[in-house]
Amino acid sequence: MTPDTTPAELEQALTDAADAAEPLAASEPAVRAGWIRAAADALDAAADELVPIAMRESSLPEPRLRGEVARSSGQLRMFADVLEEGSLLEVIIDTADPQAKPVPRPDLRRVLVPLGPVLVFAASNFPFAFSVCGGDTASALAAGCPVIVKAHPGHPDLSVRTAEVMIEALRAAGAPDGTLGLIQGYDVGVTALKDPRITAAGFTGSVPAGKALHEIAVTRPEPIPFYGELGSLNPVFVTQAAVDARGNEIASGYVGSFTLGVGQFCTKPGLIFLPAGHGLDDQLIEATGAVAEAKMLNDRIAEGFSSGLDRLRKVDGVRVLSDGGATLLGTTATELLARREEILEECFGPVSIVVEYSSTDELRAAVEAFEGNLTATLHAEEGSDAELARELLPLLTARAGRVLWNGWPTGVAVSWAQHHGGPFPSTVGSIHTSVGVTAARRFQRPVAYQDTPDTVLPAVLRDANPAGISRRVNGTVTTGEVSR
């Protein structure tokens, strides 16, 4: 067992991060991008060493873990590209206009600056992509913030070795000492969260743990932003027209999605709503029964799944349709609406619930029964379901950060437009994402400089635009010089 970080070691990590904050913030975007690319290259180079450690500690298969390494290094490089392009800084320049009405306008130059040291609580279910080298770390480094990762106890050895690889790569590339650090232990993480040198925190985990840490963050003498991803049911709603057009495809896609990764994805579809008499029972039961039993991430998660499944089995109106390597439960919209709190509680693992509805009114009521989710999915036909879709999409939009049409929520593309977040309780910060380019926005704040001499401005705000980055000048996006 990896020992907890000692108080002296924690103090050193916090001191190093605080010392790194100023030089990291002052680094030119292209220079910072070079550091981040060096970490990505080192991660890829160490894959043959890191993946076997991850297999041993997480029970996840090699192809999945190698895919995670590629995803992690890929998103590091994506942030490096965006840094060089300039959009990450959101530079906006309004030059002085003495003739502006009703009053003259001063010269205003706005840019996003880093908050300072960030504490990242790693997740259990993605040992690379949401851990030491994951999206929170990548986006915070791109924002110009030193990062201290609180390792997840589910993969401690992997966390240590991954941190060593990245720290050495960053140091060799010229990044300040303290750019990345690692700590171990729950109480150690809480102590770090309370430290005034930490300016923001990211978290992926359970609702109880996330709420407790959020409370600590916002009740400090100087409150800080806490970006917590907590839990999500990711409901899927299917119309009769969609069943008629491609029912078999929907059934197989659903089972594949809720059993992917032994049901341990934060975007697992926890419920599917089908019209009564849908005729897919046999296929759903057969597909679920064919899922082989597999080991979960760790004993604690397996115990939590077993307990949650036992609780769901005992809910009145819920019946077992298939049981084995995965479990399929069934109920009706009427029963769900009568026992909403009992049924709409996430069970992390390979289980999902088929809910039958008897009318569009019941379908609408079922949508409205949900709180915030990371995703919500509608399977419908564009022509015959257009009117119903126009009615349901706003309801889904109010309850989810990503709304899918005729797809499955497992699998989160790392891209410019991605949003991985949602209303509470899926996250405690629905206006932000933890995946995609704009994830860096969580660790930045805007500053506007007014009538400041060009010679003393940050380089990215100067008239000459020496880095050639993208900027909005007097309302127009440009990469050229400022003309007055």
Same domain, 314 and 332: yes
Domain coverage including residue 299: 235-413
Same domain, 263 and 360: yes
Residues counted in the chain = 484
Low-confidence residues of the chain: pLDDT under 70: 1, 484
Same domain, 44 and 186: yes
Report yes or no: 375 and 403 within 8 Å, Cβ to Cβ. yes
Same domain, 187 and 225: yes
Same domain, 274 and 221: no
CATH number (domain holding residue 271)? 3.40.309.10
* CB burial of residue 457 (10 Å; 0-12, 13-18, 19+): middle
What is the pLDDT, as a whole number, of residue 470? Answer: 93
**Distances from the Cα of 434 to the Cα of 364, 377, 421, angstroms:** 30, 20, 7
Catalytic-residue membership of 229:
yes
Torsion of CA 244, 245, 248, 253, to 10 degrees: -120
- What is d(CA 412, CA 247) in angstroms, rounded to the nearest whole number? 24
Q: Is residue 484 part of a domain?
A: no
- Residues ≥6 apart with Cβ < 8 Å to 118: 136, 140, 145, 146, 147, 148, 198, 199, 200, 201, 202, 443
Catalytic-residue membership of 347:
no
Domain count, the chain: 2
Q: What distance, in Å, lies between the first and last C-alpha atoms of the chain? A: 63
Q: Is residue 319 part of a domain?
A: yes
What is the pLDDT, as a whole number, of residue 2? Answer: 81
What is the pLDDT, as a whole number, of residue 196? Answer: 98
Helix (H) or strand (E) run with residue 379 in it: strand 373-379
Active-site pick, 133, 266, 335, 346: 266
State the maximum Cα–Cα separation within the chain, in Å, rounded to a whole number. 75
Side-chain-facing half-sphere of 272: CA atoms under 13 Å = 32
Same domain, 226 and 245: no
Same domain, 308 and 405: yes
What is the pLDDT, as a whole number, of residue 134? Answer: 96
Peptide bond preceding 409 in cis form (omega within 30 of 0): no
Helix (H) or strand (E) run with residue 307 in it: helix 299-313
* Location of structure tokens 């709409």: 344
Active-site pick, 57, 68, 84, 229: 229
**Distances from the Cα of 403 to the Cα of 363, 381, 419, 465, angstroms:** 17, 16, 10, 39
Q: Is residue 352 part of a domain?
A: yes
The answer for 86, left when phi > 0, alpha when psi is -120 to 50, beta otherwise, is: left
- Residues ≥6 apart with Cβ < 8 Å to 201: 118, 119, 120, 121, 193, 213, 217, 224, 225, 226, 227
Q: Is residue 466 part of a domain?
A: no
The 8-class DSSP code of residue 97 comes to: B
Report yes or no: 377 and 237 within 8 Å, Cβ to Cβ. yes
Same domain, 186 and 286: no
Same domain, 338 and 215: no
- Helix intervals (H) in 174-238: 186-194, 207-218
Same domain, 102 and 60: yes
**Distances from the Cα of 430 to the Cα of 146, 217, 264, angstroms:** 24, 17, 22
**Distances from the Cα of 409 to the Cα of 80, 260, 414, angstroms:** 27, 11, 14
Same domain, 223 and 240: no
Same domain, 276 and 358: yes
Which is it for the CA torsion 103, 108, 112, 115, positive or negative? negative
Q: Is residue 1 part of a domain?
A: no
Residue 30 phi/psi, 5-degree rounding, is: -65, -35
According to DSSP, the β-strands at 471-473 and 92-94 are parallel
CATH number (domain holding residue 141)? 3.40.605.10
pTM of the model: 0.94
Q: Is residue 331 part of a domain?
A: yes
Q: Is residue 289 part of a domain?
A: yes
- What is d(CA 321, CA 330) in angstroms, rounded to the nearest whole number? 6
Q: Is residue 480 part of a domain?
A: no
